[in-house]
Amino acid sequence: TAQILDGKAVAEQRLQKIAEQVAKRRKQGLRTPCLAVVLVGNDPASTVYVRNKKFACEKASFASRSYELPASTTQEELLQLIDELNASPAVDGILVQLPLPPHLNSQSIIERIQPDKDVDGFHPYNVGRLAVRMPLMRPCTPKGVMTLLETYGVEIRGKKVVIVGASNIVGRPQALEMLLAEATVTVCHKATQNLEHEVSEADIVIVAAGKPKLVKGSWIKPGAIVVDVGINRLDNGQLCGDVEFEAAKERAAMITPVPGGVGPMTIATLLENTLYAATLHDKPAA
Ligand code: NAD
């Protein structure tokens, strides 16, 4: 039975390390990193994510600012807030919680964020930097997965990695991260013809489809490493991933649980990105 990749514990350790670095910055007379979190409307999942992000800021002793705007907010109003946060020397990172209400154009909002404050790593500039192997701000979930695997000593170079899901925020940048680590990468999506076959060849499989138990335990190659990014709320209120956990656990060498796997790593990486953004904003000594 598989070893559990304990994202919750690894994320706690990272938050502690970040807090130490923040304390060191203060001693050196440098600013406390500050994350601005923008939530539009009151989507229940988004509200929980935003609350967790603010809580993590407290744990890492970051400053945070919170902008909770009504669902009726216009594109122009949101763009204006982004412009203000871009211009504010007190703000290091800007996070606009997605999804936005349907009348707003997320892509043009994302593109308005200054790349050096784009701590989600979703701006095309930052995605492009990752694509050409010169990463700056890296998308949080894929980077968090890399950190988790690295912490457990998983070797990536030369491995066959199969990613299920090709979204802009998880699957695609995950493929770029894995390429950067010199894996052989296959990306599956809705049009993939034989998902079972693709998954069964993976040394490492990363699933981000948003479909509960899409990947069956019997598909997993014995000894493979399984990373489940999916977060699905079932009718009974339980959270479950995109992988049949119990069955997969019997075949895999290592597996992430849901919850307590990738989710906490995403938040820890967001804070790492915000700390990195703060270093970009440090003024050179006069
Ligand atoms: P999305 O809906 O934007 O993308 C889903 C992708 O999966 C698409 O590329 C689609 O083609 C593919 N897909 C859907 N059904 C498929 C099928 N039957 N076979 C093969 N491919 C299929 O979703 P997303 O934003 O990438 O999120 C995916 C999941 O990850 C969701 O459950 C989301 O809640 C979760 N998520 C978790 C974290 C975290 O921190 N743990 C972060 C972001 C997203």
Q: Average pLDDT by consecutive 10-residue portion of the chain (286 residues)?
A: 98 97 96 98 94 95 97 98 98 98 98 98 98 98 98 98 98 98 99 98 99 98 98 94 98 98 98 98 78
Q: Are 196 and 244 in contact (CB under 8 A)?
A: no
Give the per-residue pLDDT at 285: 63
pLDDT of the residue at 191: 98
Asked whether 212 lines ligand 1 (CB < 6 A), one says no
The per-residue pLDDT for 284 is 73
Nearest to 270 by CA among 26, 45, 60: 60
Q: What Cα–Cα distance (Å) separates residue 197 from each residue in 82, 147, 202, 221, 225?
A: 45, 28, 9, 10, 16
- Decide: 27 in ligand 1 pocket, CB within 6 A: no
* ipTM given for this complex: 0.99
Q: Which are the catalytic amino acids?
A: 53, 97, 120
Q: Which mutation among 127, 141, 172, 231 tests ligand 1's pocket best, with the greatest number of atoms within 8 A of CB? A: 231
The pLDDT, as a whole number, for residue 270 is 98
Say how far residue 110 (Cα) sits from the centre of its chain: 15
Q: How far is the CA of 171 from the centre of ligand 1 (A)?
A: 7
Q: What is the pLDDT of residue 41?
A: 97
Q: Is the CB of 209 under 6 A from ligand 1?
A: yes
Distance CA 249, CA 252 (A): 5
Ligand 1 center from residue 248 Cα (angstroms): 19
Record the pTM.
0.97
